[in-house]
């Protein structure tokens, strides 16, 4: 999908409104001034090299499907060659292996990838919160709750979709989203739940804030097979929000926000117009979650996912992929600002896997090498302008699926030293547990 240079004008115009400098984010904190660790071996535990840093709070950002090239595309389009994204200015960096425990596949899906982060165990594709034999295993969110900490899940996808579900539910089939919602209310009980997916909380025929069979997707509609879970949430003490205004006004220690029938954006077949115009932004949801969770004197554990990166990369839509990265980056800034003021918060930004087999090329190299006209896939998007320069870049896709490449990780705050080097995705769980719970 090679387009004219005007395709990136909207992105460039918005980036011009971003802060003049990001230098204040580049200075390393005392916790971050460490040498890179060697590649970690399977079974090696965090803290083995003498780290004693502990965090009161942990915020884990998951840019679903966001590989190194996605972050580079965002950097060029939103910051330029002489600056970094907020997520890339976090001073500690690492590289994460993403394979599942799947005998017939080494490419992970979001369910297995998130479960590795949530439990420290690899599992099969499609499974959330269970091991490779289907047994429920405790998650870091549940362990944090048991330790007296507040917990939260935020996403631009369905709040019951694979990534958030892996931290607070236990099912072998990620598609059982009403069961996942029920487990939130009866078992893991996160204090904050913000995202899309109202359809999975209301029985068929029960009207919600978002109408069934909307013009943009007539297949959307209420479909809970576990009863009226929205009423059950209210009976459990959750304040409920379904708009920017009600989210801002919501009070109390427990908060449920559902802001779309399904995802908080619309992914369409290529050429039919993807839509990214959520009722509330990821930054707004993240800020509200922090406001609520920070009231807990024992600390908190929060997962924030930008699902749009993955969905738009699946459709090889470079412009909307960059838009989703921008929204994630603004949320990371909100968390980093909180962490700087708090001094006891570990912030991590990574991905569950890479989507699209993306590379970044100059405009002169637009050879459409990965195009598949039979599948309706145009391998290249762009050109997009580079902030502060006259030239631009092209996003070259090689697939509409997931790939097996490592994904980058950046971190800030107490315990971030544990995350230098190269390691399995399960190690990220171990490092978070060591920092947050001391074991």
Catalytic residue among 99, 110, 178, 188: 110
Catalytic site includes residue 110: yes
Cβ(356)–Cβ(318) below 8 Å: no
Distance CA 244, CA 47 (A): 42
Picking from 210, 155, 160, the residue whose alpha carbon sits closest to that of residue 181 is: 160
CA distance readout (Å), 231 to 49, 188, 228, 413: 49, 18, 6, 39
Write out the catalytic residue numbers: 110
């Amino acid at each position: 999908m090679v387009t004219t240079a005007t395709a990136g004008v909207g992105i460039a115009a918005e980036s011009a409104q971003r802060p003049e400098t990001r230098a204040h984010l580049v200075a390393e904190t005392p916790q971050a001034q460490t040498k890179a660790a060697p590649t970690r071996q399977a079974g090696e535990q965090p803290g083995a090299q003498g780290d004693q840093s502990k965090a009161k709070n942990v915020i884990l950002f998951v840019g679903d499907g966001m590989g190194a090239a996605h972050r580079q595309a965002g950097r060029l389009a939103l910051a330029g060659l002489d600056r970094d994204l907020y997520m890339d200015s976090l001073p500690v960096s690492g590289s994460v292996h993403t394979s599942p425990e799947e005998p017939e596949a080494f490419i992970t899906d979001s369910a297995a990838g998130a479960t590795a982060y949530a439990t420290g165990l690899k599992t099969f594709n499609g499974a959330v919160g269970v091991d490779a034999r289907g047994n429920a295993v405790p998650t870091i969110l549940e362990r944090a709750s048991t330790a007296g900490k507040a917990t939260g899940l935020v996403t631009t996808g369905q709040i019951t979709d694979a990534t958030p579900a892996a931290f607070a539910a236990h099912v072998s089939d990620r598609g059982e989203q009403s069961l996942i919602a029920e487990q939130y209310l009866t078992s893991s009980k996160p204090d904050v739940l913000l995202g899309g997916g109202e359809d999975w909380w209301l029985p068929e025929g029960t009207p919600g804030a978002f109408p069934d069979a909307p013009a943009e997707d007539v297949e959307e509609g209420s479909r809970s097979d576990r009863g009226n879970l929205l009423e059950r949430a209210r009976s459990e003490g959750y304040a409920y929000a379904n708009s920017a205004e009600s989210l801002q006004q919501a009070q109390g220690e427990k908060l449920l926000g559902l802001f779309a029938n399904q995802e908080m954006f619309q992914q369409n077949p290529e050429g039919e117009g993807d839509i990214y115009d959520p009722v509330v932004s990821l930054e707004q949801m993240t800020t509200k979650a922090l406001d609520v969770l920070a009231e807990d004197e024992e600390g908190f554990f929060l997962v924030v996912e930008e699902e749009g990166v993955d969905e738009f990369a699946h459709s090889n839509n470079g412009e909307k992929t960059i838009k989703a990265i921008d929204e994630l980056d603004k949320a990371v800034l909100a968390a980093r600002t909180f962490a700087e003021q708090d001094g006891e918060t570990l912030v991590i930004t990574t991905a569950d896997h890479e989507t699209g087999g993306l590379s970044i090329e100059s405009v002169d190299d637009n050879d459409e090498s990965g195009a598949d006209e039979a599948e309706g896939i145009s391998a290249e998007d762009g050109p997009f302008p580079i902030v502060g320069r006259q030239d631009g870049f092209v996003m070259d896709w090689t697939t509409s699926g997931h790939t097996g490449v490592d994904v980058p990780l950046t971190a800030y705050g107490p315990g971030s030293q544990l995350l230098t080097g190269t390691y399995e995705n399960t190690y990220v769980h171990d490092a978070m547990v060591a920092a947050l719970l001391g074991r």
